[in-house]
Structure formats: structure tokens, C-alpha cells
Amino acid sequence: MKVIDYFNRIEECSEMETDEGFHAFDKCVNNLSKQELLELIIEFTSIVARLDVSLDILENPFDTDNDWDKVSEEDKIAYKKESKLMNKSHLKIVH
């Protein structure tokens, strides 16, 4: 299997219903032979090695760990206050 075929399969599975897509992707991965999996890993590794990006980006491409650190203290306080207000109003509606 080529990397492009693998990515196309991931895209197909992501367009399915949650459980259906998960099972289709799981079946796809589990049906790969050792040789196919090895070829896929080698091709993917060679693509990544040729990219002109830092290892930090490869380790965390969506920069999810540092998002909260980039928010100013003032915005953090406002967000926490707003969250508390929303929780209290939700409780009033429910009860």
C-alpha cells in the first residue's frame, strides 16, 4: 500500500459514521501484511525526512499543548468567569 492510498482510505473512513468508519479503518490496518506495513512505514518516513519542517512541528502538528499558555492572564480570568456563569445558568434551567 502506498502512503497516498493510505491517506485516501483514512479520508474515506472519516466520512463514514463514527463506528462504521472506525471498523473500516481497523479492518484496513489489520489486513496489511508485514511487508505492506513495512513498505508504508519506509515510504512515510522518507516523506517526513524530506520535509522542511522542524521536529517540534512533527511532534505536535496542531500545537495543542501550548494553546492555553499563549492566552493572556486577563483572558484566562475572563474565560474562567464566563465558564462559571454558564454553568450556574445551566443549573438554574435544569433545576
- The tens digit of pLDDT for each residue in 9-49 reads 888 888 888 888 888 888 888 898 999 989 999 998 888 78
**pLDDT of 63 above 70:** no
Asked whether the beta carbons of 1 and 39 are under 8 A apart, the reply is yes
Place of cell 468508519: 21
Query: What residues contact 68, with CB distance under 8 A and at least 6 apart?
Result: 76
Q: How far apart are CA 71 and CA 53, in angstroms?
A: 25
- How big is the chain by its Cα radius of gyration, in Å? 21
Average pLDDT over all residues of the chain? 76
Report how far apart, in Å, the C-alpha atoms of 60 and of each of 3, 45, 57, 63 are. 20, 16, 5, 5
